[in-house]
C-alpha cells in the first residue's frame, strides 16, 4: 500500500527528471553544431527542438506565428539556450523541471533515502548557482553532458537503494510515460522537418544520438542509416531503452505490480490505454512511411500517452469519491 499523495509525488519527480535529461541531451547536440553548421541547418535544428518540446521561442508572439521560420533567426543561439535552460518562467526549461522534481522529492522526504535526496539536491544547488554567461565562452556542451550524467546517476542511486514496491513502480511509470511521450513528439517533429537533401542521413544519425541510440543502432544495423530503419528501431525495438515499445512494456510491467489483474474484474482504465499502445507497437501498426498504411500515426501515440497519464491520475490519485463530492 502507498498513499496517493506519495505515489503522485514520486511519479512527478521522475517525470520531471526525464524531461531534464531529454532537454539537456537535445541542447547539447544542438550546441555542438553551432560553430560549424550553416545558418539554415541550425535554424532547422532549433525548430525541431522547440517543436518536440511543444514550446515556442522567446519573441515568437512578436515576430510571427508558430510556423514562422523567422522565429529561429531573430533569436540567437545564446538566447534560445538560456531560455530552455535557466528561464524559471518557462515550464519546459531545465531549471524549472529540476526545481519541480526537487519539490516533489521534498514533499515525500520520509519516503526516499538520504542518498536519493542528496543526489537530487546537489544537482539542483549546482545548477542554481550556474548561469549561462559563466560557461558560454568556454565549453557549454559540457554543462549538458554533466546534467545528463547527473540524472542517470540519480537513477542508479534509486535502483540500488529502493525496494521494488509500489513507490518504485510509480517512479518507473513516471519515467517511462514521459520518455514515450517525449520520444514520440521528437520523432513526429523530426519527420515533419527533415527534407530530402544530401544531409538527410546525418539528420537521422542526429535523431539516433538524441535518443541515446546511435551506438546501439550501429551495432545492430552497421553504418547504413536511413529513415525506415531508424524509425523502426526507435519505435519497435523491444530491447532498446529509449524505444517506444520498451517504454510501453515497462509501463505494463509496473501497472501489473501496482494493481495486479484479477480474473472476472474489468481492467482499470490505464490498462485499456496501455493495451492499445502495446497492440500498436507489438503488431507494427504505426504509420512510419510517407505512403501511410498504419493504423496509428506518431501523433496518435503521443495522444494515447497523455490519455494514459490522465487515466492514471483518475484511477490511483484522485479517487472517484472525491470527484462525486466535488460535483
Phi, then psi, of 296 in degrees rounded to 5: -125, 140
User: What integer pLDDT is reported at residue 289 of this predicted model?
Assistant: 74
DSSP string, 266-282: PPPHHHHHHHHHHHHHH
3-class state of residue 2 by DSSP: coil
- CB within 8 A of 108, min separation 6: which ones? 5, 6, 9, 10, 13
User: What integer pLDDT is reported at residue 39 of this predicted model?
Assistant: 80
- CB within 8 A of 113, min separation 6: which ones? 157, 161, 162
The tens digit of pLDDT for each residue in 207-254 reads 999 999 999 999 999 888 988 999 999 999 999 999 999 999 999 999
What would the grid cell of residue 249 be? 512494456
Q: How far is CA 149 from the centre of its chain?
A: 15
Question: How far, in Å, CA of 106 to CA of 83, rounded?
Answer: 26
Task: Name the nearest CA neighbour of 85 among 134, 48, 120.
Answer: 134
User: What integer pLDDT is reported at residue 192 of this predicted model?
Assistant: 85
- CB within 8 A of 223, min separation 6: which ones? none
Cβ–Cβ under 8 Å, residues 218 and 262: no
User: What integer pLDDT is reported at residue 71 of this predicted model?
Assistant: 53
* Number of other residues whose CB lies within 10 A of the CB of residue 77: 18
- DSSP type of residue 265: S
Cβ–Cβ under 8 Å, residues 176 and 247: yes
Question: Torsion angle of alpha carbons 313, 315, 318, 324, nearest 10°?
Answer: 140
* Angle (nearest 5°) at CA 178 between 32 and 17: 65
Cβ–Cβ under 8 Å, residues 154 and 124: no
Buried b (16+ CB within 10 A) or exposed e, 131-160: eeeeeeeeebbebbebbbebbeebbebbee
Question: How far, in Å, CA of 326 to CA of 280, rounded?
Answer: 36
Angle between helices 298-316 and 244-258 (to 10 degrees): 20
Task: Name the nearest CA neighbour of 231 among 267, 278, 189, 199.
Answer: 189
3-class state of residue 296 by DSSP: strand
Mark the ranges of the chain whose per-residue pLDDT is less than 50: 62-63, 66-67, 74, 196-198, 322-327
User: What integer pLDDT is reported at residue 156 of this predicted model?
Assistant: 96
> Can you give the residue ranges of every domain in the chain?
1-161, 180-319
Amino acid at each position: 500500500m502507498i498513499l496517493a499523495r506519495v505515489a503522485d509525488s514520486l511519479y512527478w519527480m521522475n517525470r520531471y527528471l526525464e524531461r531534464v535529461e531529454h532537454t539537456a541531451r537535445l541542447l547539447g547536440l544542438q550546441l555542438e553544431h553551432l560553430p560549424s553548421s550553416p545558418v539554415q541547418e541550425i535554424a532547422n535544428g532549433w525548430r525541431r527542438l522547440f517543436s518536440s518540446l511543444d514550446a515556442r521561442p522567446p519573441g515568437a508572439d512578436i515576430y510571427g506565428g508558430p510556423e514562422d521560420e523567422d522565429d529561429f533567426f531573430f533569436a540567437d543561439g545564446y538566447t534560445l539556450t538560456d531560455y530552455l535552460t535557466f528561464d524559471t518562467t518557462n515550464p519546459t526549461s531545465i531549471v524549472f523541471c529540476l526545481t519541480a522534481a526537487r519539490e516533489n522529492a521534498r514533499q515525500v522526504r520520509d519516503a526516499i533515502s538520504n542518498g536519493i535526496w542528496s543526489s537530487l539536491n546537489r544537482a539542483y544547488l549546482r545548477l542554481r548557482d550556474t548561469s549561462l554567461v559563466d560557461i558560454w565562452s568556454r565549453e557549454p556542451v559540457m554543462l549538458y553532458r554533466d546534467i545528463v550524467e547527473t540524472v542517470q546517476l540519480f537513477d542508479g542511486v534509486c535502483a540500488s537503494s529502493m525496494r521494488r514496491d509500489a513507490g518504485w513502480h510509480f517512479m518507473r511509470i513516471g519515467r517511462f510515460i514521459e520518455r514515450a511521450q517525449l520520444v514520440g513528439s521528437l520523432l513526429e517533429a523530426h519527420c515533419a522537418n527533415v527534407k530530402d537533401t544530401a544531409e538527410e542521413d546525418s539528420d537521422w544519425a542526429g535523431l539516433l544520438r538524441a535518443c541515446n541510440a546511435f551506438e546501439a543502432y550501429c551495432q545492430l544495423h552497421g553504418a547504413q542509416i536511413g529513415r525506415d530503419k531508424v524509425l523502426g528501431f526507435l519505435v519497435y525495438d523491444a530491447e532498446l531503452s529509449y524505444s517506444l515499445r520498451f517504454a510501453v512494456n515497462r509501463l505494463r510491467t509496473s501497472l501489473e505490480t501496482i494493481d495486479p489483474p484479477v480474473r472476472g474484474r474489468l481492467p482499470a482504465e490505464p490498462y485499456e490505454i496501455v493495451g492499445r499502445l502495446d497492440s500498436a507497437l507489438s503488431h507494427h501498426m504505426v504509420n512510419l512511411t510517407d505512403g501511410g498504411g498504419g493504423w496509428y500515426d506518431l501523433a496518435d501515440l503521443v495522444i494515447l500517452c497523455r490519455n494514459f497519464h490522465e487515466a492514471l491520475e483518475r484511477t490511483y490519485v484522485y479517487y472517484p469519491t472525491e470527484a462525486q463530492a466535488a460535483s
